Amino acid sequence: MTRAVTILARMREGFGQFCPVALACETLTQKWTLLIVRELCAGSRRFSDIRRGVPRISATLLKQRLDALERAGIVSVQMTRTSAHEYALTEAGADLKAVLSSVGEWGQRWARDIDRRDLDPGWLVWNIHRRLDTAIMPAGRTVLEFAFTDAPAHQRRFWLVCTNGDVDVCVKPPGFDVDLVVSTKVIVMAEIWRGLRPISDEIKAGRVRLDGKPALRRALPSWLMLSVYAPIARKRTKTVKT
């Protein structure tokens, strides 16, 4: 038996327990699986959108995980008019929303600190685009540019084009005038998003720079709804690195 076949056989063996936790773990604790479910809970339906929310997974492995979730009865797959696949949570999948919420709340309180290896500016902007309070943004089109001063050149600038409630993420200049530029380090924006740093303090300290009309600069903090876990207070003592 080859090594790959041996590993696959072991995965299918499970934990050898009939405990519901063990049986659930057979499906849910495979790498990336819960993050894929998280994206579906957040509203992603298309393969490309799911992958933008889990950017470090390969397309092949994402397809395998989605197939496994379908076999487990957690995800249903439908064909659109354009012959593309669209994914949705079943009743069993929707039941995982509360599970993921509890895991996220625990993570906000007790998981390790954010490390440099966790900082993906594209993923950060993808999450920001889903949590903008477009109802209080100006009517018409507003273009936000995020400039991450410490990111690699190919991940330094992103644009959000907000048009009457719809928000598009652009990795290249969208061809419209930019209304507001937000310049900062990735870690600063990530910790603001997590609720670990008040954005007003970071603006006053100069760690976040806003370039645009004064009214837009004043309004930006109210547009950012932040992570759903941001209101939860951190309980783990921050690690001091030497």
Residue-wise pLDDT tens digits, 167-224: 999 999 999 999 999 999 999 999 999 999 999 999 999 999 999 999 999 999 999 9
Query: 116-223 is classed in which CATH architecture?
Result: 2-Layer Sandwich (3.30)
pTM of this prediction? 0.88
Residue 122: per-residue pLDDT? 97
- pLDDT average, residue stretch 139-147: 97
Specify the pairing of strand 157-163 against strand 141-148.
antiparallel
Residue 82: per-residue pLDDT? 75
Per-residue pLDDT band at 8 (split at 50, 70, 90): very low
Q: Within the chain, which residue ranges are assigned CATH 1.10.10.10?
A: 31-110
Residue 240: per-residue pLDDT? 57
Q: Write out the two tokens for 7.
A: 């590993």
Question: Residue holding tokens 């499906």?
Answer: 27
Does the structure show a pLDDT above 90 at 237? no
Per-residue pLDDT band at 242 (split at 50, 70, 90): very low
Report the chain's mean pLDDT, rounded to a whole number. 93
Residue 10: per-residue pLDDT? 52
Q: Is 116 exposed, middle or buried (0-12, 13-18, 19+ CB in 10 A)?
A: exposed
Residue 91: per-residue pLDDT? 98
Digit-coded pLDDT (tens) for 58-94: 999 999 999 999 999 999 999 877 768 899 999 999 9
Digit-coded pLDDT (tens) for 44-53: 999 999 999 9
Helix (H) or strand (E) holding 148: strand 141-148
- Candidates 3.40.50.2000, 2.40.110.10, 1.10.10.10, 1.10.3720.10; CATH matching 31-110: 1.10.10.10
Instruction: Single out the residue of 220, 206, 42, 202 nearest to residue 143, CA to CA.
Output: 220
Instruction: Single out the residue of 199, 196, 174 nearest to residue 108, CA to CA.
Output: 196
**Among the listed ranges 14-28, 55-69, 138-152, 208-222, which one has the minimum average pLDDT value?**
14-28
Q: Within the chain, which residue ranges are assigned CATH 3.30.1050.10?
A: 116-223
